[in-house]
Chain A
Amino acid sequence: MFGRLVYESLRRQKRRKLLAGVAITLGVGVATAMISVATDIGDKISRELRAYGANLVVTPQEDTLDVQIGGVDLKPPSDGAYLNEADLPKIKGMFWRNNIVGFAPMLPVSVRLSHSDDTNSLTLLGTYFSKQLTFGKQDFVTGVRSTHPWWKVQGAWPNDNSSDVLLGESLAVKLGRKTGDEIEIAGQAHRVAGILSTGGAEDNQIIAPLALAQQILGKPDAVRRLYVSALTKPEDAFARRDPQTLRGAEYDRWYCSPYAASIAFQLQEAIPHSHAEQIRQVAQNEGIVLSRIKGLMLLVTLAALFASALAVSAAMATAIYERRTEVGLMKALGAGNVSVAALFFAEAFLLALIGGVVGFAGGALLARQIGRSIFDSQIAMEPVLFPVILAIAVIVTFAGSAMAIRRAIKFDPVYALRGEA
């Protein structure tokens, strides 16, 4: 009998049920979309923050002091130690390899241009543009195009295996060269593949594939420093602990958290005779910006949950309030308060389940759409979200109905039936 009452109520009062059902579906949809966006926003913004470029730098351990003013290296090229290029792919073998967005080696050498009345020497910077590397069975592509996203090239990026070069914007004007011209460096002619604009010291430099710089320097395999761009977790008090003082489980936890400090530590392990350091300007501020945006989205999500809970409650209250006459009739026929309440709760439960499932699917689609249109990538959906959302939907629907149900069953059946509500 009870089952039939619920079934018939759902079948016959389609309009009323539809209104409440739509409210639940929309509420759940908005809640789902907001929760999934909020849980994933950290990852997404973290990726966007990589636009600031490398957050870690690896230098040779026994290096002499940098003599650098305004990005121009004044240190004699013969001076100082080097990293070994052959060690670089090992980065893809470390624990947090999947958090490494890219890395780019740098080797500045000073060169003189032949047939040039300018007697000053120029800096030629050897690097990877988008170099194909292999580690074990893994193939990957890395270079300045991923670590220095603000570098803009007019023309084409040179191939890493060619001997083509890029000319800095200001240097190109000074030398009167443009894309496609030839330039003679250290007695050899090289094609200018493009003009580079960075807004920094590179605008006055020649940028070449690493192998060319090594050949000019006469040191195959040499790399002066290595820039690494990694996805990191904002630094907290635990991250600042010295790994030397950590024991057992604590050390494991530190080592297995993607803090900038622990990734630097692992880089040092992966590359022999190296010293890795976080570039504090990028690494520290990343944490601040990330935590602010995450905090903002969390609070906004709370507001969204509140608004959708309210919408569901309001719809349920209205739907039940409209059925006072029905309650009066049931009570006049001898139904107890408990059985009337049970009937309403069963209906609310069914509505919440249906609305919850449909709303979850809609919300997931919405989140996907937001992810695709704003971040050009999918928003990851946590499967655990589904039962949580359903539970929230049921609880909110019950809470929203409870007040209305109480008022409905308290009402004197005589008045209700006479229509004097």
Chain B
Amino acid sequence: MSANRNSDLVSRRAAKPHTSMFLRMLMRAAVLRRGRAASALVAMVVAAAVATAMLNLYVDVQAKLRKEFRNYGANIVVVGKHGQALPADAVDKVESAIAGQGRAVPFAYVVARTSDGQSVVVSGTNLDQVRNLNSWWSVTAWPNASLDALVGTRAAAVVSPQGKAFDLTFQGRNIHLKPAGTLRTGASEDSRVYLALKDFESWTGVQPSTIEIASSGSPEEVNALIQKLSQAAPTAEVRPIRQIMEGEARVLGKARATLAAAAILIVATAALCVLSTLIGWVFDRRRDFAIMKALGASEGLIGGFFAAEAAALGAVGAVLGFGIGVGVAAWIGRVNFHAPVVPRFNVLPVVFVGSIVVALVSAVLPIFLLRRVQPAMILRGE
């Protein structure tokens, strides 16, 4: 039995002598010097984690910040040409063109008269959607009943100074409204009265003349959407709100450039950390190197041995580091943007290859330096 097994072993070893010895040397090197190998691995993992977190953040931050920028409200506006109302199906057409990539809110406007004959702009809209679109509106209470109105602070002083119900007239037709809350924006909305589109249409018979759209895409996507909308509603004028688009592009560009600079610095520092640890680790093992050489190993084999070791270290470090880095990026996203940064797996190959390259460079560099030294000198401890 035992002879049988022995011959088995011998024949197996004969079949793959080099591979088996090579693997054993690799394994033993890692196991016997756990401390040093572990510290090199830790450096590798941390560097890969930091690199992953920064790359992930850099890729994802644009989407995150763009969401914040959508708080500025609409970036596209659709209006009837020459001040006319939009066709009745315009809202549906716009909704289907956006296809969930943003919000569209219709607005209808008329100039009505108060009971003492003053002009006031009244707007009919979908109040629930406005609430989401224009988050900066400071509203005391949103209307939810029929014939409740949202009154701008300046308009309130004119139409219902005591907060009582009031009458408005448009082309001889009267409407009785109850002020549900007041609205403060600091702009022309303060002088207006807002009510639900249904109430507005049954009172005035006027259709929406403006659709405000907040599209959350990149500038290219927004431009494509404008093209699509122009085709979908040929009788309307579709235009970007330049103030919002340009401000966003500018701030986003600067923020991203700063983050990119930071990412480069951090990744470079992490790579340096790996480099110095690994060089120390390999340098420390010059005795192994010398023994191998003294026993007759070729330079190529020794180089291959150290390179394989470094590559294995780099691969393991990259995979572990990727996991940790994704976690760090998610945490940063949660803390800062209240939404986790989505793991980007297309970052993995970059981190993986980068780690292995850095590991290989830091392993091969000391070998290259030691190449010309006689093994006897190293073994003698000089």
Contact = CB atoms under 8 A, between A and B. Distances in A.
A375 interface: yes
Given A292-B337, A318-B280, A41 B258 contact: yes
Interface stretch (A68-76, A123-131, A380-388): A68-76
B270 A307 contact: yes
Contacts of A295: 335-336
A325 interface: yes
A292 B254 contact: no
Which of B39, B185, B258, B336 has the most chain A CB atoms closer than 10 A to its own CB? B258
A293 B65 contact: yes
A65 B118 contact: yes
Nearest to A74: B111
Interface stretch (B141-149, B239-247, B305-313): B239-247
A345 B160 CA distance: 78
A333 interface: no
Interface in B191-209: 191, 209
A158 to B, nearest CB: 21
Contacts of A69: 109, 111, 121
Nearest to A420: B287
Contact of A48 (B184, B251, B277): B251
Which of A49, A51, A283 has the most chain B CB atoms closer than 10 A to its own CB? A51
Nearest to B281: A318
Contacts of B73: 281
B191 A67 contact: yes
B254 A374 contact: yes
B136 A304 contact: no
B32 interface: no
B380 to A, nearest CB: 9
B38 to A, nearest CB: 12
Interface residues of A, number: 73
A318 B279 contact: yes
Interface in A277-323: 277-285, 288-289, 292-293, 295-297, 299-301, 303-304, 306-308, 310-311, 314-315, 317-319, 321-322
B250 A48 contact: yes
Contacts, number: 217
Contact of A53 (B57, B243, B270, B287): B243
A300 B57 contact: yes
Nearest to A324: B284
A67 B121 contact: yes
Contacts of B121: 65-69
Interface in B259-280: 259, 261-263, 265-266, 268-270, 272-273, 276-277, 279-280
Contacts of B136: 280-281, 284-285
A30 B266 contact: yes
A278 B255 CA distance: 25
B377 interface: no
Interface stretch (A19-27, A185-193, A244-252, A347-355): A19-27
A199 B241 CA distance: 6
A148 B154 CA distance: 25
A70 B123 CA distance: 11
Interface string A46-85: 0011011100110000001111111000110000000000
B338 to A, nearest CB: 10
B283 interface: yes
Interface in B125-167: 134, 136-138, 154-155, 158
A304 B246 contact: no
A325 B287 CA distance: 14
A230 interface: no
Nearest to B137: A280
Interface string A327-359: 000000000000000000000000000000000
Contacts of B336: 292, 295-296, 299
Contacts of B283: 322
Contacts of A304: 262, 265-266, 269
Contacts of A33: 265
Interface in B102-119: 109, 111, 118-119
B186 A307 contact: no
Nearest to A298: B336
A317 B89 CA distance: 72
B187 A281 contact: yes
B186 A310 contact: no
A285 B43 contact: no
Interface of B: 39, 43, 46-47, 50, 53-54, 57, 61, 64-65, 68-69, 71-73, 79, 109, 111, 118-121, 134, 136-138, 154-155, 158, 184-188, 190-191, 209-210, 239-244, 246-247, 250-251, 254-255, 257-259, 261-263, 265-266, 268-270, 272-273, 276-277, 279-281, 283-284, 287, 328, 332, 335-337, 381
5 contacts: A41-B258, A56-B186, A68-B188, A311-B270, A321-B284
